[in-house]
Amino acid sequence: MISIDPKTYNQVALSRLLTGAVAPRPIALVSSISQSGAVNLSPYSFFNVFSYRPPILIFSVSRRMRDNTTKDTLENVLEKPEVVINIVNHDLVEQMSLTSTEYDRGVNEYEKAGLTPIPSERVQPPRVAESPVAFECKVNQVLPLGETGGAGNLVVCEVILAHYSEQILIDEGTVDPVKLDAVARMGNNWYSRANGDSLFEIVKPGQSLGIGVDKLPDPIRYSSVLSGNDLGRLGNLKAFPDAGELETIKKEEVVRALIETKAPEEQWHTLAKRVLEVGEREKALAILMIGLESYAIKE
């Protein structure tokens, strides 16, 4: 490990290290408008949702590192505190990237990027027709984080109307991540795509407490085969298997073979790991507990 003091480290290099490590980051394609009516469209990956009630989205507009000047988006929201935050998916990622070009103030990035502006219902900045989700927002606050180049300005946005393409919904209350096909910012020129093999599910801990990794027997907890993720899956279970569950698993051919051959710990853990990989957490823990019994009999 190397240690870096942000106060003494090169600031450009620090920015690359920060954005390279804090990733992936969702992208807000922000539409804003000046007091004179000039529309601006620009992407920001310092962005996320921070509250449900009220629904609050925040993105940050950094002062330019090279000359400490401010960007059109910041100037616009200070003049007219309204934005539309458009979500970026893979279908429009190249056009989104083009909007990050630093055109002169007043140049319409919708036209430059070939994107379609459509009227919003409650704010003046237009929405991006190609975006699968758009949030019409009033800007509640702009919070400067510093006065030097690279300093952020948090734009606190309250959603007053949201638009979702029906094509990305499983039902009225659920977005299908595969159909959304979102992209996110990594470091330098890299992006990530939330689709295909990059998507996976983790069972959320319920209201009833999981047993925890600390309660697993030491031979399991300090296994040379099981990973930290494996242990986390086991620790999220509500309870250890009971005697009936253990007896059922013992009757399975592969488990019975391990018992009869007095297999070493590694084989039990390898089998449990394979079972965990297909999502059968209860069965995996039962196999591990039967294995412990087998060691005791062997000894």
Residue 171 — pLDDT band, cuts 50, 70, 90? Answer: confident
192 and 282 inside one domain: no
165 and 231 inside one domain: no
Is residue 149 assigned to a domain? Answer: yes
Is residue 204 assigned to a domain? Answer: no
Positive or negative torsion for Cα 193, 194, 195, 197? positive
Residue 245's domain spans which residues? 213-298
152 and 181 inside one domain: yes
47 and 138 inside one domain: yes
- The per-residue pLDDT for 200 is 84
- The per-residue pLDDT for 299 is 47
Residue 34 — pLDDT band, cuts 50, 70, 90? Answer: very high
104 and 155 inside one domain: yes
Per-residue pLDDT tens over the stretch 253-291: 999 999 999 999 999 999 999 999 999 999 999 999 999
- Rounded-to-5 percentages of helix, strand, coil across the chain: 35, 25, 40
Per-residue pLDDT tens over the stretch 193-244: 999 999 988 877 766 689 999 999 999 999 999 999 999 999 999 999 999 9
Q: Residue 24: which CATH number?
A: 2.30.110.10
Question: What global pTM score does this model have?
Answer: 0.86
Nearest to 61 by CA among 186, 187, 146, 162: 146
Which residue did the predictor score with more confidence, 102 or 132? 132
pLDDT greater than 70 at residue 90:
yes
Q: What is the mean pLDDT of residues 85-104?
A: 94
pLDDT greater than 50 at residue 252:
yes
How many structural domains compose the chain?
A: 2
118 and 47 inside one domain: yes
182 and 134 inside one domain: yes
Nearest to 83 by CA among 147, 140, 18: 140
